[in-house]
Amino acid sequence: MRLQGKRAVVTGGSQGIGLAIAAAFVGEGAEVCLIGRDAQKLHDARKQLGSDAVETVSADLATPAGSDKVSDEIAGSDRPVDILVNNAGVAFLVPFDTVTQEQFDQSFSLNVSAMFFLTQRLLPAFAPSGASVINISSYFAGKMIPKRPSSLYSLSKGAVNSLTKSLAFELGPRGIRVNAIAPGTVDTPMRRKSVDNRPEAAKAELQAYVERSYPLGRIGRPDDLAGIAVYLASDEAAWTTGGIFAVDGGYTAG
């Protein structure tokens, strides 16, 4: 058990990548707190994880009130936090000339501000022996894809990478490690939402593109991100900070 006795917070832990990471943490002996907006989804996720070691907080992290609620509930318990996974995110893959102010604000509120301020507000709750912060970035921070306009999403994930490095630098002396995982395309509800409503021909074209572009020949499954998250959360990564780890089936190697 590589995370025995540790307490983790996973934002966006009710489905997709966050849920897979939470499941791996529980499997390695951690207590996990899942954050999301929809209480029913959190309830289902908790049931799926089937463990007494799972708690949930329902809050909209895209709002300051939501971030306050989460940090108050977590810091209010007497158990310190060892691991924070800033995973909740939103992706508007829309052409630059159609991006609305609302989409821009929503993206930055969740992908950037929530990561920034939740980490800041949880600092007093971090274990005195040190903590691991894991930010979920994206290959879109630095790699653009034909027919997937990503100015807004790429900008927000570029900010995630930048924040990861600056916080690693600033918080390292306090024993807080900060790393990011940059997944390639992963089969989650987020991805399905952006693909399922495409015409069949476009879906086939996308599938052919995936097979051509991913050296490992497929997109990711949420579980593909779990191993590296467990590693970064564990004491095995005691000297690892400020890293942006590509986990993308080799997509960005080309």
Ligand X SMILES: NC(=O)c1ccc[n+]([C@@H]2O[C@H](COP(=O)([O-])OP(=O)(O)OC[C@H]3O[C@@H](n4cnc5c(N)ncnc54)[C@H](OP(=O)(O)O)[C@@H]3O)[C@@H](O)[C@H]2O)c1
- Active site residue ranges: 153
* Residue range at the interface with ligand X (CB under 6 A); choices 144-152, 168-176, 185-193, 230-238: 185-193
Report if residue 17 touches ligand X, rule: CB under 6 A.
yes
Q: Is 36 in the site for ligand X (CB under 6 A)?
A: yes
Strand-pairing partners, residue 179, are 134
Q: Is 87 in the site for ligand X (CB under 6 A)?
A: yes
**Site residues (CB under 6 A) for ligand X, limited to 193-232:** none
Say whether residue 31 binds ligand X (CB under 6 A). no
Q: Is the dihedral of CA 78, 61, 9, 232 positive or negative?
A: negative
Member of 183, 226, 228, 246 binding ligand X (CB under 6 A): 183
> Of residues 56-75, which lie at the interface with ligand X (CB under 6 A)?
60-62
Cα–Cα distance for residue pair 74/47, rounded to 1 Å: 21
58: Cβ contacts below 8 Å, ≥ 6 apart:
35, 36, 37, 38, 39, 42
- Tell me, what DSSP letter sits at residue 80? P
Find all residues with CB under 8 Å of 14, minimum gap 6, and list them: 34, 36, 38, 41, 42, 44, 45, 56
- Give the end-to-end CA distance of the chain in Å, rounded to a whole number: 36
> Coil, strand or helix: which one is 163?
helix
Query: What is the smallest separation between the CB atom of 23 and ligand X, expressed in angstroms?
Result: 13
Residues 214 and 251: beta-carbon distance below 8 Å: yes
Q: How far is the CB of 123 from ligand X (least distance, A)?
A: 20
CB-based contact 236:2 (threshold 8 Å): yes
Contact 153, 92 (CB under 8 A): yes
Binds ligand X (CB under 6 A): choice among 8, 21, 81, 110: 110
In angstroms, what is the minimal distance from the CB of 110 to ligand X? 5
Reduce the DSSP state of residue 61 to 3 states and report it: coil
Quick one: which H or E segment has residue 176? strand 176-183
Q: Which is nearer to ligand X, 50 or 189 (CB)?
A: 189
Work out which of 7, 8, 16, 133 binds ligand X, going by CB under 6 A. 16
250 is a site residue for ligand X (CB under 6 A): no
Single residue of 185, 213, 234, 241 touching ligand X by CB under 6 A? 185
Beta carbon of residue 26, minimum distance to ligand X (angstroms, whole number): 16
Closer by beta carbon to ligand X, 36 or else 149 = 36
95 C-beta neighbours (distance < 10 Å), count: 10
Site string for ligand X, 120-159 (x = CB under 6 A): ----------------x-x---------------------
Under the rule (CB under 6 A), what is the footprint of ligand X?
11-12, 14-18, 35-38, 41, 60-62, 87-91, 110, 136, 138, 183, 185-186, 188-191
